[in-house]
Amino acid sequence: MKRICCTALFLAAFTAGAAPALTIDEAVELALAHNHRIKEALHLEQSAAARVGTSRSNFFPSFDVNYNYRQSEQEIFNLGDEASVFTLELSYNLFKGKADKHGLAESRARASAAAYQRRSVEADIALAVRWAFIDSLRAQRLVATNQESVQLLEEQRRDAERFFQQGLTAKNDLLRVEVELSSARQDLLRTEGDRHLARKALVRLLGTALPETERLEPFTDLPDPGELSFPSLKEEMLENRSEIRYLKSLQVALEENRERRGAPYWPRVDFVLAHDNFGDTIFPDGQDGGFDSDTSARLNATWNLYNGRRTKHEVEEAEYRARANAEALMDTEAELVLQLETALERYRVARANTATARVAVGQAEENYRVNESLFKARLGIATDFTDARFFLTRSRNEHTDALAETFKAVTGLERVLERPRPESGSASFSPEPGRPVGESSSPRTP
């Protein structure tokens, strides 16, 4: 996948002398290995694969060993009051209405459907991990921005207190700064709580422990989804999505199940080869005046003529289930087309918001510098200075949110298209608070 390079300035606390951080792709790999929903889907896939072996066993002969012993009060013919028989029986089904053939085809189709279902779960979990990773980084950036806001207000409070003690400003200017500082500290506490919860949500998706000291690798590249042509993307999506393939495989399985249910309309033919050892005691070691053993071969043919229309109703049940799945397939295709349209629109809006927020940060920084100079030169008032600080913090947070939404829109579009996961490299963001990410090139225009 092509990428749009972004220059980023990182906080020294996050980079200098730090151990290697967890990247977004490493987080996805952890989830694919440890997430319980993925393990559940994998076990279901393995179960479906084992069912294929069960269906295949119908094409092999059956070998059975039987032993019977009888003791009665009265003698039966010349068998005495005791009798035993030991039997070795080899049987092989020659025909049963192709139930074995359709059963094997159904099992294979269900195994294929289970594999596509697992892939769908993996794609959903991978997207959830990426979004949780982005939200965790966003929360981390918002904490850094609010920390800087508190620091700026603390400096402003010291200046305002000094000016008030010197009789250069009124007390209400100092009180206004103190109120703003108290509000900023509350915002900082709230964002710190959000950061903690965002990390917990990420750990929940990973399915494994993540130490509190484990850093998250900030982003340096913004993925480019490529040419945003709706017809070509629609075709790609319908070709790639595991949900579509799952329903198509399930449709094959249901149609094979319908054919298998009709097997009782045909006769069943079995070939049986048996060897019996007889006895007139508990041990089948021969009979006095009777048979010691016997070997026989027989051909059994069975044809059900009436079973209360059970077969008819089972075929109808399977037929309606196949029709229902066909409707579900068409509905899913329509739903996925809407997902694609929504993802494209979200990406366009996010890109536009990011560009607007980047400009707003530059304007807010300049406005803050001007008001800071005026306030320290005692040419401006505290109200304008605190307002400038508020606008600066808000613009930085809005830029962080817009950038995070852009990354989430791109990864969401990749999930809708279900493109193969990149082998290496990852996209992320982490601008230094107050400094917008400057892109060296622009995304391709839709």
Q: In CATH, what number is assigned to the domain containing residue 386?
A: 1.20.1600.10
The verdict on residue 445 lying in a domain is no
What is the reported pLDDT for 430? Answer: 45
Contact 4, 220 (CB under 8 A): no
299 Cβ partners below 8 Å, 6+ apart?
Answer: 269, 270, 271, 272
Q: How far apart are the first and last CA of the chain?
A: 17
* Alpha helices in 207-262, H assignment, sequence order: 230-240, 242-261
Q: Is residue 272 packed enough to be buried (19+ CB in 10 Å), middle (13-18) or exposed (0-12)?
A: middle
Position 181 in a domain: yes
Give pLDDT, residue 444: 29
Which stretches of the chain drop beneath a pLDDT of 50?
1-18, 423-446
Say what the pTM is.
0.77
Cα R_g (the chain), whole angstroms:
37
Q: What distance in Å separates the CA atoms of residue 226 and residue 237, rounded to the nearest whole number? A: 14
Please tell me the predicted confidence (pLDDT) of residue 79: 62
Q: Is residue 226 part of a domain?
A: yes
Q: What is the pLDDT of residue 423?
A: 46
> Number of structural domains, the chain?
1
Gap between the Cα atoms of 261 and 106, Å rounded:
11
User: Containing domain of residue 407, as a range?
Assistant: 3-439
Phi and psi dihedrals of 257, rounded to 5?
-65, -40
The answer to whether position 444 is within a domain reads no
Assigned domain for 124 exists: yes
Virtual torsion, Cα 16, 17, 22, 26, nearest 10 deg: 110
